[in-house]
């Protein structure tokens, strides 16, 4: 793995991924909205930035050229199928055999066997109710994006994040196949460690065509199940 692309580079998760990727010695190409390029000032001499919407197919085609891995932040902003357009462009233009790692939340299910905590179900209901009135996000867009990824024969991984918090790294998160598994009960991961999991997944073939649900390795549920 030499050169990678990070799509959605300027967000909180994206910037942590840039730092981890540079620490791993990767050459980094980043895509972010033009108005957000200034958020990457700290990295400007160390990465190549391609400004543009992440669902712009021409931008993605240019950005992923020659990349062995692509890290994509999937966000369901607006009502223009932003996540789906982003994911489809990556699936279509990444070079054959590239490792494709996508981020999303626990609410995504691959096989319908996840058992969601009541708080998550409540939050999803509230979000759906609010966004019917003010459609600033479209939860079904991220669902559709992931459906297309799961159906693809590329070397994908969909990393499903718990609730996130800031703070110093605690180490690589632990993961499980299904939300509801005891190890995930604490439902909290440091954002910096979510980013680490995404970057480490690039070289972890055990995660190819998997949808790991992650949780911080120092959370009570992770420690309880490890013992």
Alpha carbons 165 and 203: distance in angstroms, whole number: 25
| C-alpha closest to that of 114 among 187, 209, 200, 195 | 187
Stretch that binds ligand NAP, among 42-50, 68-76, 148-156, 213-221 (CB under 6 A): 68-76
Of 29-37, 118-126, 174-182, 210-218, the segment contacting ligand NAP by CB under 6 A is: 29-37
**Using the rule CB under 6 A, is 13 a contact of ligand NAP?**
yes
Out of 3, 19, 36, 154, the residue judged to bind ligand NAP by CB under 6 A: 36
Query: Out of 85, 161, 212, 216, which residue is the one contacting ligand NAP (CB under 6 A)?
Result: 161
Chosen residue from 18, 32, 89, 196 binding ligand NAP by CB under 6 A: 32
> Do residues 47 and 63 make contact, with C-beta atoms less than 8 angstroms apart?
no
Residue 158 in the binding site for ligand NAP (CB under 6 A): no
3 binds ligand NAP (CB under 6 A): no
CB of 169 to ligand NAP, least distance (A): 15
Q: 3: closest CA among 82, 95, 84? A: 95
Per the structure block, which two tokens stand in for 27?
Answer: 């050459």
Q: How far is the CB of 209 from ligand NAP (least distance, A)?
A: 19
Near ligand NAP in 189-218, by CB under 6 A: 191
Please check whether residue 170 is in contact with residue 195, taking contact to mean a CB–CB distance below 8 angstroms.
no
Binding to ligand NAP by residue 124, rule CB under 6 A? no
By CB under 6 A, residue 75 contacts ligand NAP = yes
By beta-carbon proximity to ligand NAP, the closer residue of 22 and 53 is: 53
Give contact residues for ligand NAP (rule: CB under 6 A).
8, 10-14, 32-33, 36, 39, 73-75, 77-78, 82, 103-105, 161, 163-164, 191
């Amino acid at each position: 793995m030499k050169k990678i692309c990070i799509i959605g580079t300027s967000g909180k998760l994206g910037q942590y991924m840039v730092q981890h990727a540079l620490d791993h010695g990767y050459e980094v190409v980043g895509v972010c909205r033009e108005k957000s390029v200034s958020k990457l000032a700290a990295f400007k001499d160390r990465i190549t930035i391609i400004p543009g919407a992440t669902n712009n197919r021409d931008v993605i085609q240019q950005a992923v050229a020659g990349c062995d891995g692509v890290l994509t932040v999937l966000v369901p902003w607006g009502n223009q199928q932003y996540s789906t357009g982003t994911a489809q462009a990556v699936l279509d233009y990444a070079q054959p055999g590239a490792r494709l790692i996508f981020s999303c939340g626990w609410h995504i299910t691959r096989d319908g066997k996840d058992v969601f905590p009541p708080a998550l179900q409540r939050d999803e209901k509230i979000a759906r109710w609010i966004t019917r009135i003010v459609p600033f996000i479209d939860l079904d867009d991220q669902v559709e994006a992931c459906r297309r990824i799961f159906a693809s024969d590329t070397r994908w991984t969909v990393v499903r994040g718990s609730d996130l918090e800031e703070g110093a790294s605690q180490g690589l998160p632990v993961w499980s196949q299904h939300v509801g598994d005891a190890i995930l009960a604490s439902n909290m991961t440091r954002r910096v460690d979510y980013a680490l999991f995404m970057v480490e997944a690039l070289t972890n073939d055990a995660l190819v065509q998997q949808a790991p649900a992650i949780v911080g390795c120092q959370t009570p549920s992770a420690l309880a199940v490890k013992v």
